[in-house]
Structure 1
Amino acid sequence: MSFDSMRPRGRPAHTPGTTVLAYTPNGKRVITGGSNSAIRIYTVGQDGEPQTVDEGVDANHGIGATNECFIMGAEDGTVWQYDITSGKMRNLLVRCALPVRDIAVSRDGEWVAVASDELTVKIVKIEDMTQVKYLREQPKGAKHVTFHPNGRYVSVSCTDGIVYIYSLHEEEPELVRKLDGVIRRLEPDAEATSRVVWHPDGTAFASAEATRDISIYSISEWKKEKTFAGGHTGDITALSWAPNGTLLASAAADGQIILWETKTQRILQRYDFGNVINLAWHPTKNSLSFTTSDGELFIHDDFVPREHQSLLQKPLQAAPIFPGPLTEISNNVSKPLADRSKETIQRAARKGTPDSLDDILGEDDEMPDFVDDDDGAGYAEGLNPYGKRTNGHLEDLGPNSKRVYSGSFQPNPHPPLQPGSTPWAGNRRYLCLNLTGAVWTVDQETHHTVTVEFYDRELYRDFHFTDPYQYDKACLNENGTLFANNPSDGSPATIFYRPHETWTTRADWRTQLPEGEMVRALALSDSYIVAVTTKDYVRVYTLFGTPFKVYRQKSQGVSCAAWRDYIMSIGNGPLGPDGRHTTLRYTIENVKRDEICQNEDEVALPEGVQLKNVFFSDTGDPCIYDTTGVLLVLQHWRTPGQARWVPLLDTKQLARLAGGRKEETYWPVAVAQDKFHCIILKGGDQHPYFPRPLLSEFEFQVPVSTAPPKDSSDPEGADARDENLKFEEAFVRSNVLLSLYRDLLASTNATASQRAELARKELEMNKTLLQMLANECREGEDRGMKALELVGMMSDRNGKMVEAAAKVAQRYGRGVLEDKIRDLAERRVMGMDDDDELA
């Protein structure tokens, strides 16, 4: 057997017996524990003696690590936390009555799951051991426990031969699946493994079968998809995915470690190492570490042979659960040939031919090295596994948006955006996600299958249909579902509408666009259907298919949204200040009255920032959410020339993210009931996952100011400043919401309930000003001018609020301020404001 490097030497680390290991997430250290009480900390890249921790307990069976600490679970039932630098014991996290068999640390480093011979698996918060979650459905002890890469699920491999999958979406874990026949029954101390090993992309997991094969199960259907077969002749003892998911390493009692290619499930290399019971890939390097039941540690650098090392250099790859070649799912993959046909790409891959890549593109020093797509390197990343295009093809809709790479300067327009849709993830993608429900499609190679699911299943009924048109856009609301497609075979683009309820035999309809015209974005309201096309037309239809209006945008179409009789279209405008990225222009019009509210006004986006979603709120105010995590609403949009974008929430300033405690982003869904509704994405996810995720909601929080650092010498003063900042933010927020509501009522025939709601919003704002006034009065007489200013900002129709303000000043003994407030009240009664008095 030949190796690219010399066979690594074993490093005696512990006495014979179970030996566990873990890398720190940054890959700087590898920690081992074993049957004795010693703990070894090895520095990666150094051959010197490891750091030894002698204050551990005997028989460590579980291990996990963050960059700051590592955690050990032992046979005596204790789970201890150690400092990674000094090796000192920090604290006892949890104690079990029976031996600990395995532990797992969540990717965000916040939680540790503990599997033991007890019937309950415990999940403990590392920085606050009083916060514990319990997994109670197992009838026997657990042998292994593992976290989903993004923390959505936790899997428990029970000694009864069943895998228990729990959801961690809610405060209390919920059992979502019991998978029988996935693993075999094993004794807790058996060297064979029944561990569920999640693929890095989170869509599947691997497990060892009793047949000594390795099976891959998808979490969308919770069924077996692929098998790594014929590799081992002994019981499998360890499994580990490469960090980017392209390779799988397995060890078994037959004395071999096998390197598998994920995409084809074929064996790339066999290595002879006996008694291996644990495997771990280095997070970034071509290195695999493993431990044996002899108590030895091996660090195998250059583990992947030279001819296969290109696989490790790829970005994160999709799990092998779909037919066809894998697609890259990294959001950082470049798209050098996204605007070329599949045939051109295949011709370009044939190096040395007259139509080689250099001949097609011309010489360009900035172009990266080209790699054949046979190994999924990503030069054709715009194509999904079946030769179909992902959302990347939207960039080349129409002649004006083609991207040809050359040495000359090319502007960077904003790509088309279909609100609520996601790119392909394997052979699935969401066409629409909103508060009504979700529309998602599955690519079956020859056709698609579309599923429409509703949140309110008492009012609506889910439906599912075979889709020969291969729809790539959809909209969903309480009235119906709208679809559109952009065929690649030259067929006309189609728009299809299906109402949820009808009192006639057939009410759905389908129409085709003129030849050569495709749909860039689609919108559906209670009254109209809107399509922005590659001809830069805005096409408006009634709900039952009557063409109502067609006009050409002044800018290249990007997206659109609709609410009742209003439509908002967005397009690329002139180049921005950086001279490279285009600005975005929007137009809002009332279709029914044929009135333009805002015409080609600019969307307020910082340089280089793009839209993630465009929608109307439940009360009809245009909203956008950008790639910096800021939610904005358009204020005074019904008055021409008066509109402005106001931030309602900066998700990066949420309290839950303070101090880097969580690694998460948010997928925007809707604005309703004065809240931001979204999907929480963890662990680097950029798009919602399958199965359909739960929705979360956040209160608005206008980014007025961040709290100053705490002053330990004046804790009461710091608390008062924090309280005042909260009141200031509440005042600005209530002022914005009140302004939006006043605009709404001014444009409609307000009902009694709407007028009552307006009064409630005014009262809420005035209460906030009263609380701020009380704070100023507490601060002292020298704050009187600001206090009087606050009173002047009150919306007071009958004088009650100003009277309440005078009583607040009286309560705190601010006599001069009280007199000033009463003078202000008298001027208001006389119909005078400060400007009148000065005049």
Structure 2
Amino acid sequence: MFSMSSDAIRPRGRPAHTPGTTTLAYTPDGKRIITAGSNSAIRIYTVDQDGEPKTVDEGLLDGYVGIGATNDSFIVGTEDGQVWQFNTLSGKIGTQLVRCALPVRDVAVSRDGQWLAVASDELTVKLVKIENQIETKYLRDQLTGAKHVTFDPKGRFVAVSAIDGFLSVRGTGAGKKLDGVIRKLEPDAEATSRAVWHPDGTAFAVAEATRDIAVYSISNWKKEKSFTGGHTGDITALSWAPNGTLLASAGADGQIVLWETRTQSILHRFDFGNVINLAWHPTNNSLSFTTSDGELFIYDKFVPKDHEAQLQKSLQAAPIYPGPLNDISNNVQQTLADRSRDAIKRAARRGSPDELDDILGDDEEMEDNFVEDDDGAGYVEDLNEYGKRPNGHLDDLDGSDGKRIFSGAVQPKSHPPIQPGSTPWAGSRRYLCLNLTGAVWTVDQETHHTVTVEFYDRELHRDFHFTDPYQYDKACLNENGTLFSNSPSDGPATIFYRPHETWTTRADWRTQLPEGEGVRALALSASYIVAVTTKDYVRVYTLFGTPYRVYRQKSQAVTCAAWRDYIMTIGNGPVGSDGRHTSLRYTIENVKRDEICQNEDVVALPSETRLQSVFFSDHGDPCIYDTTGVLLVLQHWRTPGQARWVPLLDTKQLARLAGGRKEETYWPVAVAEDKFHCIILKGGDKNPYFPRPLLSEFDFQVPISSHAVRDSNESEEAASERNASVKFEEAFVRGNVLLSLFRDLLESTNATASQRTEMARKEVEIDKTLLQMLAIECREGEERGMKALELVTMLNDRNGKMLEAAAKVAQRYERGVLEDKIREIAERRVMGMDDDDELA
């Protein structure tokens, strides 16, 4: 029907890469074209030069599938999950911006060059700040991996094309998940499902299953126009001309089609086979494209002369409005910027806030007059961030004297059940258990689930995977076995235990709870299995399925934990001090000895704070982690009535967060080897993501003082001395807590020689800390002698060596009176007297 223009010379293909996926990008200034493909080489072509391109071949990377470029650098993604930045001029490899556990499928760079979007086979799209990779966010609303990702021209929206056929558009003030817009495609399919943004940012084009091209408006998320009849094969690439007047499309039918945007009519067809990527030159009449044969074509004078004037026009509006592109309303021409802003306003009014606001920020056009006062009524000042009138004009719920009398009881909020180590669904996946032994996760396959159990120590245990028709929703994992339970709506709940190793042929077992009773939480120790249920029963089983104990909990069950012969149950108690939330009560018992250690004692949580996880440490001490980021341990819990919750770490006071340098939270995993093991969550993430993230660990740091800030009148030496003092004070308090926990353990068990040696070592460490604190007090002067002597009395000294060392510290700093008093204390201890007893 149409043929190639007679005034253009058909370009020759330039062999750039081996056959396979071949991608390309122009630098924004149009001076260079960068191509990458299935081999390990990258080509940098200089526009208007016929010489050989610069070849970049580091030999480390292979299988390039996505590329984005700025004038100074370009970024490529690979099939092995790596994303690297290169220097455009030198071609030298630079920074690895991100690493994915699964293959990368596409990358996109925002027009301002500040942000990178990475689509991969993972269930999240990563948004990375190019100059500061610590600032990484995650878009998680797709249920499958993503094939394409694109930024709109102003960087306010990100469009994600998932392989399941859903298109998600996320952005400032608006977000939408669209079904039926794009096709389901395999990640490596040559057909495209990419959302290609019109240059004015108010609409995007997508290829439909009918092989037509649809244009969707962001103001109403509806299809406004269609480009029809262009292709008889799958569409493989789309690209708008820089000013939006023309559209180029390529198909598996061996055709490149040039369309006029205003009328959606075909201007010309060009015969080129296997084209899989298209890119217009930013300013010239030139179109470049790559093929699955690994070739690059640079087609100068692509638009014929009789239509070349279209490229000379200024930026035109997307074809989503009735009438001609230059709309006239009330004899006043509406500028393209106005139309773009109006479309975004309409999208924002229909959408919902999105985490992309925090990533990309708001444009000034969005800040100013975001909601216009069209009728001058003055209501705009009272609108909230969603464009709605807040309820500030209403009376307070409690009323005021003479206005409203409150009647009826307030229903207190109870704490929801918690399964330690589990996460909510993220798409079709969730973790059932994640701890230091390994991870258990499940995948929803609609008719059934599939469960994977993975270990950190694969020399000790082998990973396994099984089909799960029971749809287990809770799990526990330790060195002995894996425990599961479900809570089906159409039958009895099931508990299933699978030991890792036995000397019999089969030792796994399954039992059902009574009809109508579900599992709220599970726990697994080296000796017992515990389930707290919806009937508030505590059910205890042996590891081989023998029911051992059943009793009703005194409070509504919330969660449980277990270690050796001990179990800890937590439930909702009476209303707390704030009058709005129930307090939590815990009970600890030794199942084997049938002894209650603590009975319905209070879990120490401040008002408005929730329990995030509960677990026993590797030494067997109960620990909790709350929503304020504080880790607490239960001290003296083996003695009835003596237990108290002691903070071991306040994660909000970590030095890495000082000055607001990082935005991150911590997902608790375990307390082991006197460290807090956790998963670092960046930005606003609340739960661990897939694939399994790495574990991090932090030393305990009892919250004694906030980060020390040097006073303006304070010398550097004085500030350093003060910081050292605070550090030693924290170490002293922490050491005493850990010593107390260890001493309680030894007193309740048959202590070994090595354990007694370890306790002596802990005492010596505390004494060393006290000596360092003593040295600081001695340097401060004689007026600090009273505190210095107090520190000496705190020494755990068993044989007099530490007291002798303290006397030498006083002697070194010429504190004679203090030295004499220290030696007096040493004499009293030798004689078996208390430190404050009078010598004869």
TM superposition score category, shorter chain reference = 0.5 to 0.7
Q: CA deviation at 1:179?
A: 4.6
- Equivalent position to 1:313, from 336, 352, 357: 352
* Contact 2:828-2:837 at 8 Å conserved across structures: no
When residues 244 and 316 of structure 1 are mapped into structure 2, their CA distance, relative to the original with a 3 A threshold, is: farther
Distance 1:262 1:729 in 2: 62
Percent identical residues: 64
Q: Does 1:165 align with 2:82?
A: yes
* Contact 1:557-1:570 at 8 Å conserved across structures: yes
Q: CA deviation at 1:756?
A: 1.3
Report what 1:479 is aligned to.
480
Give 3-state SS (helix, strand or coil) of 1:810's partner. Answer: helix
Report what 1:429 is aligned to.
430
Report what 1:144 is aligned to.
68
Report what 2:553 is aligned to.
553
Q: Which amino acid aligns with 2:148?
A: S
- Equivalent position to 2:343, from 292, 295, 303: 303
Distance 1:261 1:408 in 2: 55
Report what 1:671 is aligned to.
671
Q: CA deviation at 1:727?
A: 0.4
- Residues 684-699 of structure 1: pairs in structure 2 closer than 5 A: 684-699=684-699
Distance 1:437 1:765 in 2: 35
Q: Which amino acid aligns with 2:472?
A: Y
Report what 2:165 is aligned to.
226
Q: Does 1:512 align with 2:512?
A: yes
Distance 2:738 2:117 in 1: 55
Q: CA RMSD in A?
A: 4.5
Report what 1:246 is aligned to.
176
Q: Does 1:207 align with 2:141?
A: no
Q: In the TM superposition, what whole-angstrom CA distance separates every residue of 1:402-423 from its partner, at most 9, and x where no partner exists?
A: xxxx986211000011111111
- Residues 743-822 of structure 1: pairs in structure 2 closer than 5 A: 743-822=744-823
Distance 1:266 1:631 in 2: 52
Report what 2:50 is aligned to.
none
Give 3-state SS (helix, strand or coil) of 2:681's partner. Answer: strand
Q: In the TM superposition, what whole-angstrom CA distance separates every residue of 1:204-255 from its partner, at most 9, and x where no partner exists?
A: 545279xxxx99677xxxxx443769xxxxxxxxx97666642689446899
* Contact 1:246-1:261 at 8 Å conserved across structures: no
Report what 1:502 is aligned to.
502
Q: In the TM superposition, what whole-angstrom CA distance separates every residue of 1:139-193 from its partner, at most 9, and x where no partner exists?
A: 99994279xxxxxxx99436xx97853499xx98785568587689x9x9xxxx9
When residues 253 and 773 of structure 1 are mapped into structure 2, their CA distance, relative to the original with a 3 A threshold, is: closer
Distance 2:517 2:467 in 1: 25
When residues 215 and 505 of structure 1 are mapped into structure 2, their CA distance, relative to the original with a 3 A threshold, is: farther
When residues 120 and 619 of structure 1 are mapped into structure 2, their CA distance, relative to the original with a 3 A threshold, is: farther
* Contact 1:240-1:250 at 8 Å conserved across structures: no
Report what 1:86 is aligned to.
none
Q: CA deviation at 1:194?
A: 11
Distance 1:710 1:528 in 2: 53
* Contact 2:197-2:205 at 8 Å conserved across structures: no
- Equivalent position to 1:275, from 228, 242, 266: 242
* Contact 1:528-1:542 at 8 Å conserved across structures: yes
* Contact 1:668-1:678 at 8 Å conserved across structures: yes
- Residues 377-776 of structure 1: pairs in structure 2 closer than 5 A: 409-489=410-490, 491-713=491-713, 714-776=715-777
Distance 1:786 1:567 in 2: 43
Give 3-state SS (helix, strand or coil) of 1:739's partner. Answer: helix
Distance 2:79 2:503 in 1: 50
- Residues 55-134 of structure 1: pairs in structure 2 closer than 5 A: none
* Contact 2:175-2:352 at 8 Å conserved across structures: no
Aligned residues: 591
Q: Which amino acid aligns with 1:717?
A: A
In the alignment, structure 2 segments of 5+ residues that lack a partner are 1-25, 35-43, 48-52, 86-94, 120-124, 128-137, 151-157, 179-193, 217-221, 227-239, 245-280, 284-312, 316-335, 357-393, 398-406
Distance 1:247 1:155 in 2: 30
* Contact 1:452-1:463 at 8 Å conserved across structures: yes
* Contact 1:776-1:784 at 8 Å conserved across structures: yes
Q: In the TM superposition, what whole-angstrom CA distance separates every residue of 1:358-400 from its partner, at most 9, and x where no partner exists?
A: xxxxxx9999xxxxxxxxxxxxxxxxxxxxxxxxxxxxxxxxx
* Contact 1:530-1:539 at 8 Å conserved across structures: yes
More contact order relative to length (CA 8 Å, sep ≥ 6): 2
Q: CA deviation at 1:836?
A: 4.6
Report what 2:203 is aligned to.
258
Q: In the TM superposition, what whole-angstrom CA distance separates every residue of 1:604-656 from its partner, at most 9, and x where no partner exists?
A: 00011111100000000000000000000000000111000000000000000
Distance 1:309 1:143 in 2: 30
Give 3-state SS (helix, strand or coil) of 1:302's partner. Answer: helix
The TM-score with structure 2 as length reference comes to 0.63
* Contact 2:680-2:696 at 8 Å conserved across structures: yes
Distance 1:247 1:769 in 2: 61
Q: Which amino acid aligns with 2:545?
A: G
Give 3-state SS (helix, strand or coil) of 1:764's partner. Answer: helix
Q: CA deviation at 1:711?
A: 2.8
Q: CA deviation at 1:833?
A: 1.1
Q: CA deviation at 1:832?
A: 1.2
* Contact 2:670-2:678 at 8 Å conserved across structures: yes
Distance 1:476 1:555 in 2: 26
Give 3-state SS (helix, strand or coil) of 1:809's partner. Answer: helix
Give 3-state SS (helix, strand or coil) of 1:773's partner. Answer: helix
Report what 1:44 is aligned to.
none
Q: In the TM superposition, what whole-angstrom CA distance separates every residue of 1:83-104 from its partner, at most 9, and x where no partner exists?
A: xxxxxxxxxxxxxxx9999xxx
Distance 2:411 2:521 in 1: 24
Q: Which amino acid aligns with 1:144?
A: G
When residues 163 and 799 of structure 1 are mapped into structure 2, their CA distance, relative to the original with a 3 A threshold, is: closer
